């Protein structure tokens, strides 16, 4: 695959260092966007200073009884969240499946990022972690 | 990283602006690009950076605010800034009352009323207040009775604290009195030698630092950071230093502020020297006192106190010095002017008019103390301060209000009461102080603003002077209304209330009751001047001048020139009762040539006459004295000459003289105060009429 121009670049959330330069590692394009989406999903309303609208109430839903209705509500919330706050991702699908044994939901998001020909799929496990 | 946006804007305080500035800065590089997306790690980092920046900037801004007197918000900062201006904010002041205190059946030769003897006041709004003496007083006992003629008692709870001096734990010799509402004028500081040696010395508050030396027994007072009070002592250079083992004994009164104002009846809570048979006579009711000086007041007063430098030279200096007196007197208003401004100039004197809070005038003792203890120590030696009472002019206002019933659900009584309240409130804000102006238009506007339903209103204004006539010796009273007065007829002119009683001069045993003062109708007085129309010619002798008219008693004489014409005609006697007058010039009988002299008379319009009248047993109006005084309509002065009633028919013995001003814009100056008497139910009359359709 030919080198493509990287149009998105972000600091790696893990703050790992590059082995050669010892600089902070960066993440690019689809990887940067999928990490951003994960970050948004983990942000609750009022978490972010002076920006209370950012984030969602998903964490609250995780404490509800597991049911298809909750999963469906989560799908809507996640779709809205990405549409509003992550314009880089053009959503193809959002699937939330319950994992009752883990008390968790598995979120699979498929989206297109500009400059990439193939869709990106990212899977995020949402658990109660409070 | 350097680029077009490599300069970062640093002046903003708003979080979003700071974050945007950081984003603009990041645009100058292309390694990291995701700063615009809220979910990115970079955006989260920017949030932290921006928040940190904003936090510091806000904190710094607040610190800077607190550094200046004008912008400081914390009381401790304001007090600290004021300290640099040598200004100690006024503490709470206890209401103070004066009583006459008598102890009976005393067997000793003298009796001491100790400090902090406790009295309890009558209930004010359901609460009885503690009053205490702040000094001890000793009097000689006469006929088994000890009389304390004038005891000052202050409201508050007395308290005493002791501190043992320890230079290791308290090297600055600073002691905190943990009370925010103490009255610092009651603070007394004693320093006992040691626990073994009970001899003590009294320390006073340091006032004048020029006179302090290493042996001065002084303490310094300041308000502490938490609003309580600190006292601290000298360093053997400015004031005597304390030594280890000294015991500082502080006593003071903690007051409830202004709550006990007006208390006038007291009972003793202790016995005095073991004697319990006592009698208390009120002399003066408790003054208003005051709460601790507010932050706004400190901001206002401190720079003025600094510019006055504890010297009274300019008008503002006097006002500041008097307002900040340490006697515990609170004043609503103070006005000062030089004697040269008086209508009869008095040089070398400064006139000071004060309106005490909660009272009309100061007592003679209070005036004396204000002069000797407050003003004299700081005033220029050759200038004599003179305290004058405020001269109150009361406004009696009648408001006629027309309203539309369709536009309101208020009853006419409610509108009437709302209008009354609006008038009283405006009077409180605009009037009741020196150098104020009464304007009828302001009141008309205030009434119109009461309700949309008020279609229109008008007010008529009368001015009243109130005084206490001397009931034993006939005296002369000059009442200054401060504005020109309207000439009136019967009840529309100058009137008096209530009625007074006179002795019948023809039969001193006979008392005439129900006597009123009124303006003599159409009293136009006599001649003011005579102007020459034609000087005439050929007068060999001074011609005779005769005044013809409806009045009586006017006489005049002509002055002729050497060439035989009339130079002037001088009025000798003004006469009375003229409404028209013709000047007749008659040549002397021996004069053969003098002719054609002519002149006109100008009647006195300036003065009117007052008389007293009563209704006799058949209810017939009878004039008692047809000339009891005069009215100067131009200057607005009513004078009562040798006015000697033996009784004024009301509880206070106060006589009110009402007059109508020619204008409804009335300004006060010097010691004059225009006010609407809050205790006079007739001061504001509101007539409400509903518009009928």
Q: Write the pLDDT tens digit of every residue in B549-582.
A: 877 888 888 888 888 888 888 888 878 777 778 8
| Averaged pLDDT, B277-299 | 88
From chain B residues 94-113, the ones with a CB under 8 A of any chain A CB are none
Retrieve residue B658's tokens: 């009402």
pLDDT digits (tens, 9 = 90+) for B8-44: 777 788 899 999 999 988 888 888 888 888 889 999 9
Residue B361's pLDDT band, with cuts at 50, 70 and 90, is confident
Element (H, E) at B513: strand B507-519
Quick one: what percent of chain B has pLDDT higher than 70? 98
The mean pLDDT value of chain B amounts to 87
Count Cβ atoms below 10 Å from residue B480 Cβ, excluding itself.
18
pLDDT at position B581 is: 80
Q: ipTM greater than 0.95, yes or no?
A: no
pLDDT at B1: 43
Answer yes or no: is pLDDT of B522 > 70: no
Confidence check: pLDDT of B530 > 90: no
User: What is the pLDDT, as a whole number, of residue A2?
Assistant: 46
| Interstrand relation of B672-675 and B391-403 (parallel, antiparallel or unpaired) | parallel
pTM, full prediction: 0.56
- pLDDT band for B111, please (50, 70, 90 cuts): very high
The Cα B314–Cα B337 span in angstroms is 9
What is the mean pLDDT of the segment spanning B76-94? 90
* Chain A partners within 8 Å of B15 (Cβ): 49-50
Residues 6+ apart with CB under 8 A from B60: none
Closest Cβ–Cβ partner in A8, A37, A49 for B34: A8
Is a pLDDT exceeding 90 seen at residue B590? Answer: no
| Cα dist from B634 to B100, B250, B522, B687, whole Å | 47, 61, 16, 31
Give the number of other CB atoms < 10 A from CB of residue B691.
Answer: 13
Per residue in B636-689, pLDDT (tens digit) is 899 999 888 888 888 888 899 999 898 888 888 888 889 888 888 888 999 999
Contact call for B37 and A36, based on CB within 8 A: yes
At A1, the pLDDT band (50, 70, 90 cuts) reads very low
Confidence of residue A4 (pLDDT cuts 50, 70, 90): low
Residue B490 has pLDDT above 70, yes or no: no
> Are the Cβ atoms of A26 and B38 closer than 8 angstroms?
no
Query: What is the average per-residue pLDDT within B271-281?
Result: 89
Per-residue pLDDT band for B4 (boundaries 50, 70, 90) equals low
The Cα–Cα gap between B630 and B637 comes to: 8
- Picking from A11, A37, A49, the nearest residue to B39 by CB comes out as A37
**Consecutive H or E run containing B453:** none
| Contact assignment for A26 to B31 by CB distance below 8 Å | yes
Q: What distance in Å separates residue B45's CA from the closest CA in chain A? A: 10
Q: How far apart are CA B430 and CA B436, in angstroms?
A: 7
Helices in A7-116 by DSSP H: which ranges?
A: 29-41, 58-61, 68-85
Which residues in chain B (9-68) have CB-CB distances under 8 A to chain A?
15-16, 31-34, 37-42, 44-45, 47, 51
* Least trusted range by pLDDT, from A85-94, B11-20, B234-243: B11-20
For residue A38, give the chain B residue with the closest CA. B39
Mean pLDDT value of segment B164-185: 91
């Amino acid at each position: 695959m030919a080198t493509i121009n990287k149009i998105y670049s972000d600091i790696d959330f893990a703050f790992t260092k590059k082995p050669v330069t010892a600089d902070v590692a960066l993440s690019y394009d689809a990887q940067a966007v999928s990490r951003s989406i994960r970050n948004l999903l983990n942000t609750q309303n009022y978490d972010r200073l002076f920006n209370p609208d950012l984030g969602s109430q998903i964490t609250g839903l995780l404490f509800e009884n597991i049911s298809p209705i909750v999963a469906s509500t989560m799908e809507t919330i996640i779709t809205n969240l990405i549409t509003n706050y992550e314009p880089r991702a053009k959503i193809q699908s959002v699937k939330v499946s319950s994992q009752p044994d883990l008390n968790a939901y598995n979120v699979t998001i498929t989206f297109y990022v500009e400059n990439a020909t193939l869709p990106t799929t990212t899977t995020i496990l949402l658990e109660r972690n409070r | 990283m350097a680029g077009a946006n490599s300069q970062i804007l640093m002046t903003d305080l708003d979080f979003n602006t700071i974050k945007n500035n950081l984003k603009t800065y990041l645009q100058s590089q292309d390694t990291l690009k995701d700063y615009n997306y809220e979910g990115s790690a970079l955006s989260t980092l920017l949030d932290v950076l921006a928040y940190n920046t904003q936090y510091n900037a806000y904190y710094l801004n607040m610190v800077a605010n607190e550094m200046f007197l004008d912008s400081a918000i914390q009381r401790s900062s304001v007090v600290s800034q004021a300290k640099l201006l040598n200004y100690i904010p006024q503490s709470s002041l206890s209401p103070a009352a004066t009583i006459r205190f008598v102890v009976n059946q005393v067997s000793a030769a003298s009796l001491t009323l100790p400090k902090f003897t406790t009295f309890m006041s009558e209930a004010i709004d359901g609460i009885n207040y503690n009053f205490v003496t702040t000094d001890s007083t000793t009097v000689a006992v006469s006929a088994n009775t000890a009389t304390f003629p004038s005891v000052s008692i202050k409201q508050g709870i007395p308290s005493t604290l002791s501190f043992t001096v320890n230079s290791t734990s308290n090297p600055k010799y600073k002691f905190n009195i943990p009370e925010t509402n103490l009255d610092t004028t009651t603070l007394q500081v004693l320093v006992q030698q040691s626990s073994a040696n009970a001899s003590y010395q009294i320390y006073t508050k340091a006032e004048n630092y020029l006179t302090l030396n290493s042996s001065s027994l002084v303490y310094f007072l300041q308000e502490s950071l938490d609003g309580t009070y600190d006292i601290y002592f000298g360093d053997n250079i400015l004031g005597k230093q304390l030594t280890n083992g000294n015991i500082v004994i502080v006593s003071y009164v903690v007051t409830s502020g202004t709550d006990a104002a007006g208390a006038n009846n007291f009972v003793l809570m202790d016995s005095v020297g073991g004697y319990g048979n006592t009698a208390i006579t009120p002399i003066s009711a408790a003054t208003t006192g005051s709460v601790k000086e507010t932050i706004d007041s400190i901001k206002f007063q401190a720079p003025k106190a600094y510019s006055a430098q504890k010297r009274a030279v300019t008008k503002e200096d006097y006002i500041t010095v008097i307002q900040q007196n340490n006697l515990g007197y609170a004043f609503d208003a103070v006005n000062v002017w030089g004697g040269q401004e008086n209508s009869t100039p008095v040089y070398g004197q400064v006139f000071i008019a004060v309106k005490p809070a909660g009272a009309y005038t100061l007592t003679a003792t209070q005036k004396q103390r204000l002069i000797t203890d407050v003003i004299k120590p700081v005033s220029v030696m050759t200038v004599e301060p003179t305290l004058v009472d405020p001269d109150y002019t009361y406004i009696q206002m009648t408001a006629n209000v027309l309203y539309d019933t369709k536009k309101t659900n208020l009853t006419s009584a409610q509108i009437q009461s709302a209008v009354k309240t609006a008038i009283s409130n405006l009077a409180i804000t605009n009037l009741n102080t020196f150098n104020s102006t009464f304007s009828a238009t302001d009141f008309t506007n205030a009434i119109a603003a009461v309700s949309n339903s008020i279609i229109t209103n008008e007010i008529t204004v009368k001015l009243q002077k109130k005084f206490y006539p001397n009931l034993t010796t006939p005296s002369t009273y000059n009442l200054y209304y401060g504005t020109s007065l309207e000439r009136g007829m019967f009840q529309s002119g100058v009137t008096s209330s209530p009625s007074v009683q006179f002795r019948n001069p023809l039969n001193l045993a006979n008392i005439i009751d129900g006597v009123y003062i009124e303006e003599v109708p159409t009293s136009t007085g006599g001649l003011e001047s005579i102007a020459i129309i034609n000087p005439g010619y050929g007068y060999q002798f001074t011609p005779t001048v005769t005044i013809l008219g409806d009045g009586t008693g006017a006489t005049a004489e002509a002055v002729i020139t050497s060439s035989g014409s009339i130079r002037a005609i001088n009025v000798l006697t003004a006469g009375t009762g003229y409404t028209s007058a013709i000047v007749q010039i008659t040549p002397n009988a021996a004069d053969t040539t003098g002719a054609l002299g002519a002149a006109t008379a100008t009647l006195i319009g300036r003065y009117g006459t007052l008389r007293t009248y009563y209704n006799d047993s058949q209810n017939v109006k009878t004039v008692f004295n047809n000339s009891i005084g005069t009215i100067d309509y131009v200057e607005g002065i009513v004078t009562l000459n040798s006015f000697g009633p033996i009784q004024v028919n009301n509880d206070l013995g106060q006589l009110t003289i009402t007059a109508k001003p020619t204008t409804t814009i009335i300004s006060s100056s010097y010691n004059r105060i225009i006010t609407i008497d809050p205790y006079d139910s007739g001061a504001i009359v509101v007539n409400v009429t509903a518009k009928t359709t």
